[in-house]
Every structure is written in C-alpha cells, then in structure tokens.
A and B are shown apart, each in its own frame.
Chain A
C-alpha cells in the first residue's frame, strides 16, 4: 500500500468530515471527537489508512463526522466487521466506536471475542450508562435503581463493569478516561494506539438528555481530584486535592483500601506503585467504585501479546511457503484422477 506523505502536517480539523454533526447540544460526544481529532493529528495518521467502524446508537454516528474511511454498521456488530477488515488488510489503522448498549448488551459477544482474540483494533467504548438514541432506557451499565421508560420503578438488575469484563476475557490493554478530560484523553488514546492487539478504552460520557450528571460525583471539577485517580505506570497510586490519599494493600493483605498519608502512621511507602503489567492490580483498580474508592483513570493494564491478525498472516505465509499454490487447474487435478480416452 502506497502511503502518500502529506505535504503539510495534518491538523486536528483535517480529521473532521464536512458533515453537520447531529449530536444533542452539550453531548459528551462533542468533546470525545475533539479529543480523537487531536490524538490523530498528534500521531499524523494518513486519512486513507484510517477506518472508523461503529454499530448503532448515538456514538455510532461518529464515522460520519470523520474525514477518514468509515463504516456505520449494525447494532453491536462493529467489532466483528472490524475484525474482518483487519484480517483482510492488516495495514489499516482501525478504530471501533461503541456505546454501552451496543458493546455490552446486543454486541457483548463480539466485544468479548475481539478482546480475547487480541485483534489489533482500538476499541472505544463510550459509556453513558443509558440508551440515548432509543430515548432513555436503562443499559447494562446503568446503576441499580435507574428510573427509565422501561424501568419506571427503577432498574433491578446489577450493572457490569466494562473493564472488569474485558480483563476477565484476557484483555491485554484496558484504559479509562472521560469526555471532558481533554488533557488526559489524547495520552490514553495514544497509548491504546501504540498497543498492538485489542485496546479497550472506556470513555465515560455524559448524556445530557437522558442521564445528565450521572458522573458528576467524580468528574466534576470540584471533586475530580478527590474522587478519581489518574494511574501512571511506575508512579505511586496517590490522589486527592491535597495529594495525600493513596491506594494501599488491605490490612489483611487481600484487596486494596484507601489510605491517607500522614494518618495512622501511613507514609508514601505504604502506597502501591502502579504496574500496568500486573493483572491482579488492574482487576482491583478497574473495579474501584464511588463512594468507597476513587474511580481509576488512565492505562490500567498494558501487557502486550501477539496480535491475532499478525498470527493469522504468519500462518498464511507459512502455508504458502510450504505448499506453493499452483494454478486452479492444478488444484482441481490434485489427488486421485482417471482419464477416459477416445473410444474407451
């Protein structure tokens, strides 16, 4: 594939299509697409190599607003289509945009298997804990008791934690960020892109119409420092407006707890250091929930293994080398044949 080097560097706006964006005013998706444009410009990915796949839902309109190649598919199936495209052309730089209903309800199976196989895809999960496009029903990530048109008395089934599910499916890369955190998002997206294999980024997103403020308890500027934690590989898990809180081992050694440095004899040495290759730690960080814990943001787990698409092509190359193909006529005549001659 010939890749033309752009004469001028691509700017964030060059990644936006000429189509009018039709998300609700104030939707978190505006911030996310801005973050994606910025990330792509920083990476200088040629437009023709970029493909955005999506399923169905508000988030799924994403490809129409990108100046790259894009495929708005059917509900829940984007990871399956993206897998086929990546196997057909591994040179493509493929991103998959999914919502929580899309990726975790109707498409749960495909999300799980794309992750398990470790196909080299950048999976962006826009989690707003609600169905927006169908007008506000509760989703598989909605909190217990969510009142919605389909659960007027409040939802009674427990939500799932997307990153815990992904780690359970042997994800090699999971990260979390949120829509308005524009300083943080490009770094996470770049790390996801650098990871060869399936990279799942949960992007917490506010639905201004059907679930407004669902995440204010930890994303609002006033509380974000105290109620969330930015994890960074090799750095101590410290958070809080005063940077005096940390994540430490539980006293019984089984699990984690929040500690305050300087209280009860706790020092910085008691605080755990983030190791993005430690799966047990990642599992615990992914599952941290308000109000007991701060919500973990950043790259929770990053431990690469061979990407599926790479392995598929290695196997193909190996077979081709061992058994040269020959012509179709030769293929048809391989094995036991017999000839009937004239007058036989």
Chain B
C-alpha cells in the first residue's frame, strides 16, 4: 500500500488525558475486531489502556435486534489507568439496536457517531424504537455525528474487485479509520494485520485497507459538528521496559507454560469447549512446541480425568473450564486430591447458576472453589486480579500443585480472559525454578511417603523400575499406602491432607496493602478482577485524605498468615464482589470479622464511581 498511514501531525489537535470509546454494532458487524485493532494501535502509541469486550451469547443473533448487539469498550490515557472506564465519551453505534442498548451509558454532552445507513424503518422498528431516534429529540443532549458509513464504504472500495456484500462488510474498518483520525492512532498495525489475515484474499485485504483509509480521510476533510475535533492523548508515563498488549487468556497460557518449565514438566491439557474458557484451549494448542499436549475430551469429566491420568504418568495435568464444567469435574478433583496428584484447574468464571450468562463476567464460583466438593477436601485456591497478573498466578498454581502434590484451582473470569491491557513483559529467567523430583529409589518406598516439611507424598511415575504401586480413590494406610478401612487411619489421613494445605500459608507472601495505610478506618477487601475498579476508587479517596485502604487477595485458600492481624487494624471492612456475597462469608468464618458485603451481579464489572460512592458513604457520613 502506497498510502501514508502514519498518524497525522499533532499540530491542531486538542490534548486529552483520557478517553473512553465504545464500539457497538450487530454481532456480525465486526465490533470485537474493530476494538482489538484500535487497542493494538493504542498500545503501540504508548498509552495506558484497559478494554472490555461485551458480546452476546448468540453467535449471530437476528440482525438488528437488541439482543444481538456486541460492544467493545476501550479506555486509554496518558496516565496509569486500571479499568475500561465507567461511561463512554464516544459511542460508535453501527445500527439503531446498538444505540438503543448503549445510549443510556453515554453522559450528557457525549459524542455519538452513527451509521445512518443502518437507520432504516425496519431496523428502527426492530430495535424497539417507535420513532426514528435521529429525528424525535432522543439525542438532543448529545453531540451527534451521523454518517452514511455504508455508502461511503461502498464508494471507497469500488475499485477493489469485491461483491457489494463484501464491500459493506468493510464498514467496521471505515469506522475504525475515522476513530484513528480522531484520536491520532497509527493505522499501520491494522494494515499489517489485514495483509496477514487476508494474505490469500488480496482483494478483501485491499478493500478493508481502502475503507480504513477512507474513514481516516473523511475525518481530515469533512467539517464535523462543533464540539468535535481531532484529539491527542499523550503517551502515558510508564516504567521503562518492554511492553505488549495481553489478555488474561494469553497470560494464563504463558504462565502455565512458564510454570511447567520451572517445574521441568511437560504440559497435558484436557479440556472441553465452554464459554468463556475455550480460548485457553485454543491458545495452549498453539504452543505445542513448548511441550504442550492438548486434548479436546468428550466431556468435562473426561477432560479432567485425562489430565489426572497424565499427571499420574508424570506430566503437569491441567484442565480448564467455567463454573458449570467445574461442577462436572468435581468428583474427579476429589480423586486427584485423595491420590495427591498435581493438577491445575482453571475456572474462567461466568454468570451463573446453570447456563446463566455465559458471555458475561461474574465471580460467583468462590464458594465452589473453596468448599464445593463432597467430604473434607481442602485445596489451594488462587485468584488473578488483572490480565497481566494471570501470568504470575498461573505460575503460582503450578508451583503449589507440584510442590504440594495437590489439585489447585485458579480463578479468573470472563472479563479478565477477554480484556486486554499493556503488560510490562517480565523476565521469566528471574522467576525461581521449582524442579520436580520424581522418586526413583526403591529403598523404603511406599506411595504415601511424605516430605516432612511440605507433607507432600513422593511422586513415583509408571515406567520406574522397582516402584510399582497402586493408588486410587479408596482411603490409604498412612504407613504403607495400601487400601485401608481403618477408622483411626481415616481420621489421621483427613487431618494430614488438611494440614498439608494449611501449611501452604507458610509458603506464600504476607498479605500486602495495594493502596493506603496498614491501619485505618476502612479496609476495602477484594479478590479477582475487581482489582482495577477498587484500586482506582480507593486511590481517589486516599488522595482526598480519607482513611481507606485497598487489600486485594491472591490466595483465597489458605489465606496469608497475617491477614487476620491486618484486618483487625481497621474499624470497618467492606468486601465488594461481583456475586451475592461470598468472600465476605469466608472472611467472617475465618476471622469473626464484621465485614460488610457490597454486591453487584449484573454481568458487568464494577464502575469506579459506584465503589467510590460506597466508600465515601462509609468514611464521610
């Protein structure tokens, strides 16, 4: 492509600190792709950013309906940001349904960019509008830029040898081009991506690039309504280092690979497709060269069982799913626990119960992770807080599983899995190895011989001469590893299994305070993907001199040893969760602390403003 696709000069642009843009359209309109490309460019421009893809459960719901609307929000700034933003400054609505669903979130004075070609009588009616919202005053409080995007896209790609259907499908790139102009984004990364993606279909590649450039040119040449101009969001002042954009899914996959290398094991992933965890199966499948075997099993149970079988044979067994699938795996997790085999269970949480809200985020599987099995079955539970943090928590899950010979549950969620953030790439070599030593010495061997310190049993794998042994779900004798129905022995084994997991508290970092002092009026205790919103809300309150601190847990079971003391240094404890109150009960149970629950079960991440309001009502009022 000969066109100059670098960003325009900064000359007449108005500088902004931060912007929130939401792209919304039909699920077939390519909004996720548009958002992802805008994110890549924004990351490469050096802004800090956070994204929130929000899409329906239907792959292609009937065109034009509100339930088929797919959206992608990005917040980018010249300073450190931690959430995808509360309300969009700009809404790009590709059809009436997208406007109908998302208009309520756009503050007064916000900008709305509309594809007027999609505002046909039929689409307007389909979206549930009685009148055309462009004409009945619905948008009077907003700055509206109504553009014939279909028509302009078709004109732009006229020379590209594509059908009219293919031409119209390029309209998301036209909109992307306009936004690249408006916020001074470089188009080259998108051009490169298009050429790679459509390498075998040069006409399609050319059409998408032509649409992108036409959208950009439109911004440069057309006079836009007053109040809309070209903007500039300066680079964020961030730590020196090498960065990349990362989603939680990628970070978990890389963390598992890194963890397996640290342990000196090959990976075996047994998995079964389920939203929003399938992407982890896809990502790990793409990493076969790192010693990763992936197995798409016939069901969730076979997925976890195959991973346990692989662990028995000496691999790092991993299984991934979401809440309903984890429920199916439960019996097998008990087997891994009683046979004391290492297993990492990744739960990418989604809205529930049952099928619930498969594509929406929630953190309502904490009880399931901590308590949700038959019998006395304690196991370590680790939770990721940001996309980048998923890398570290995945390594931690592998470390605990292999060092303590236990299944470990790693909790992420749909928001973490899909959202992207710039990530300072860590030096994997700086993370300590934790090599696994298989038992090879037959002298004095039995399968339940334990390490005195960790209480982990020794791991002897089939193929090792002289160590033939049998394990299984029936209780085993403490001293010989043979099956045993002895009542005192069962009591003892249950206590040992619990002590082994409790002992992990000595092997994890003390709980830190993310923001604020170590003592004070209010502790806001969170876990998982609410980190960004809580941290920003607490940060604002701390700036205003309020006595608030943010404590964010990575280890949900066992808790860090100092957590009890830490919490007792605060007058009040508040626990915001995207569920109906779960961690709050565990904290009350363990520490008899009068913690208060703040709940939001909307399938959407917390807004910073919501949490800020809750905090202020407790420390000011």
Contacts and interface: CB of A to CB of B under 8 A. Distances in A.
Interface of A: 1-2, 4, 17, 19, 46-51, 53-54, 56, 63-64, 66-74, 77, 80-89, 91-92, 109-110, 112-113, 312, 315-316, 319-320, 323-325, 327-329, 331-333, 335-342, 344
Interface stretch (B12-20, B462-470, B529-537, B540-548): B462-470
Interface stretch (B57-65, B141-149, B426-434, B606-614): B426-434
Nearest to B474: A72
Interface string B219-240: 0000000000000000100111
Given A63-B470, A81-B305, A319 B310 contact: no
A338 B244 contact: yes
Given A63-B472, A109-B302, A333-B425, A84 B463 contact: no
A327 B472 CA distance: 37
Interface string B295-327: 101110110011111111111010000000000
B6 interface: no
Interface string B257-284: 1100100001010100000000000000
Interface string B192-235: 00000000000000000000000000000000000000000001
Contact of B473 (A74, A80, A320): A74
Contacts of A340: 46, 238-241, 243
B425 A71 contact: no
A144 to B, nearest CB: 29
B309 A342 contact: no
B463 A91 contact: yes
A63 B308 CA distance: 17
13 contacts: A51-B313, A72-B471, A74-B332, A85-B313, A88-B314, A325-B291, A327-B428, A329-B429, A331-B287, A332-B428, A333-B425, A338-B244, A344-B46
B288 interface: yes
B484 to A, nearest CB: 11
Nearest to A316: B288
B288 A336 contact: no
Given A89-B463, A336-B245, A344-B240, A53 B298 contact: no
B254 A92 contact: no
A333 B257 contact: no
- Identify the 4 closest CB pairs spanning chains A and B, nearest first: A72-B472, A84-B309, A84-B306, A81-B309
B290 A315 contact: no
Interface string B448-467: 00000000000001111111
Contacts of B293: 87-88, 312, 316
B288 A315 contact: yes
A333 B244 CA distance: 8
A336 B41 CA distance: 10
Contacts of A73: 305, 308, 335, 472-473
Contacts of A85: 309-310, 312-313, 462
Contacts, number: 206
Contact of A336 (B40, B257, B309, B331): B40
Contacts of A71: 309, 312, 339, 470-472
Contacts of A66: 470
Nearest to B267: A88
Nearest to A81: B309
Contacts of B46: 338, 340, 344
B258 A328 contact: yes
A48 B472 contact: no
Contacts of B474: 72
Contacts of B3: none
B482 A77 contact: no
Given A49-B463, A83-B309, 4 more contacts: A1-B463, A70-B470, A84-B310, A329-B429
Contact of B270 (A51, A84, A91, A92): A84
B391 to A, nearest CB: 8
B91 to A, nearest CB: 27
In terms of DSSP, what is the predominant structure of the interface of chain B? mixed
Contacts of B299: 109
A338 B43 contact: yes
A82 B462 CA distance: 12
Chain B CB within 10 A, most for which of A2, A109, A331, A341: A331
Contact of B426 (A315, A332, A335, A344): A332
Contact of A80 (B254, B305, B462): B305
Contact of A110 (B43, B242, B298): B298
A71 to B, nearest CB: 6
Contacts of A335: 244
Contacts of A74: 305, 331-332, 335, 473
Contacts of A325: 289-291
B227 to A, nearest CB: 32
B483 interface: yes
B189 interface: yes
B44 interface: yes
Interface in B401-457: 425-429
Contacts of A81: 305-306, 308-309, 312
A328 B291 CA distance: 12
A83 B468 contact: no
A17 B447 CA distance: 15
A342 to B, nearest CB: 5
Contacts of A68: 468
Nearest to B308: A81
A19 B240 CA distance: 64
Contacts of B313: 51, 84-86, 88-89, 92
Given A81-B309, A89-B462, A113 B243 contact: no
Nearest to A48: B465
Chain A CB within 10 A, most for which of B339, B428, B464: B428
A109 B298 contact: yes
A319 B305 contact: no
A52 B222 CA distance: 75
A344 to B, nearest CB: 7
A320 B289 contact: yes
A329 B391 CA distance: 13
Contact of A83 (B254, B306, B429): B306
A24 B464 CA distance: 33
A206 to B, nearest CB: 25
A214 to B, nearest CB: 28
A331 to B, nearest CB: 6
B425 A323 contact: no
A282 B348 CA distance: 46
Contact of B295 (A4, A83, A332): A83
B243 A337 contact: yes
A180 B298 CA distance: 35
Contacts of B306: 80-81, 83-84, 87
Contacts of A319: 288-289
A236 B44 CA distance: 76
Contact of B463 (A48, A53, A328, A344): A48
A85 B306 CA distance: 7
A13 to B, nearest CB: 15
B267 to A, nearest CB: 10
Chain B CB within 10 A, most for which of A63, A81, A89, A113: A81
B126 to A, nearest CB: 38
A91 B189 CA distance: 47
A91 B289 CA distance: 20
A85 B295 CA distance: 12
Contact of A113 (B239, B290, B298, B312): B298
Contacts of B301: 77, 80, 110
A48 B243 contact: no
Contact of A88 (B244, B268, B339): B268
Contacts of B288: 315-316, 319-320
Contacts of A342: 240
Contacts of B309: 53, 71, 80-86, 88
A341 B44 CA distance: 14
A342 B461 CA distance: 50
Contacts of B290: 325, 328, 331
A48 B315 contact: no
